[in-house]
Amino acid sequence: MKIRYQKKQLRITLIFGTLWFIFGIIQIFLLSSDEGDWINYLWMVLSLAYFGMYAYQHYNQYLTLENGFIKKGSPFAKKINLTEIRQIKHFAGDYILKTDNSQLEINIALIDPASLSELNMELKKLDVEWV
């Protein structure tokens, strides 16, 4: 099961990528007096980074629950076995899933409301302490 990002979060990332791209085009073709000025191309690099981040978030989503594991959808993501979770803490808009060795923080403000209800159902199935 995939826990999706809010569409608003994805749109904001796409809008920033588009804005940086437009700024880059304006800087390179309209405002630049020196064609060799490499700093003007930083806008384009920044826009490519945002477009890459959008694509990654769109295809990988925020969380994945499968085969008894919960994994964050980031490049160097943590992966926690659901059976090892000892405590779930709801604090300041986050879920903090704690095991004996590690913890995983889930920012619920980034999660789509439909996916959040699915996540809540899955977490309530676990026999753990809620704080």
The pLDDT of residue 54:
96
Residue 42's SS3 state is helix
pTM strictly above 0.85: no
Q: For residue 18, which phi and psi values (nearest 5 degrees)?
A: -65, -45
Where are any strands of DSSP class E within 1-131? 2-3, 63-66, 69-72, 79-81, 87-91, 94-98, 103-107, 129-130
pLDDT of residue 95 exceeding 90, the answer is yes
Sign of the torsion formed by the C-alpha atoms of 69, 73, 74 and 75: positive
Confidence class for position 33, pLDDT limits 50, 70, 90? low
Q: What is the pLDDT of residues 43-75, one digit of tens each?
A: 889 999 999 999 999 998 999 999 999 999 888
Residues of the chain with pLDDT > 70, as a percent, come to: 96
Indicate if the pLDDT at residue 117 is higher than 80: yes
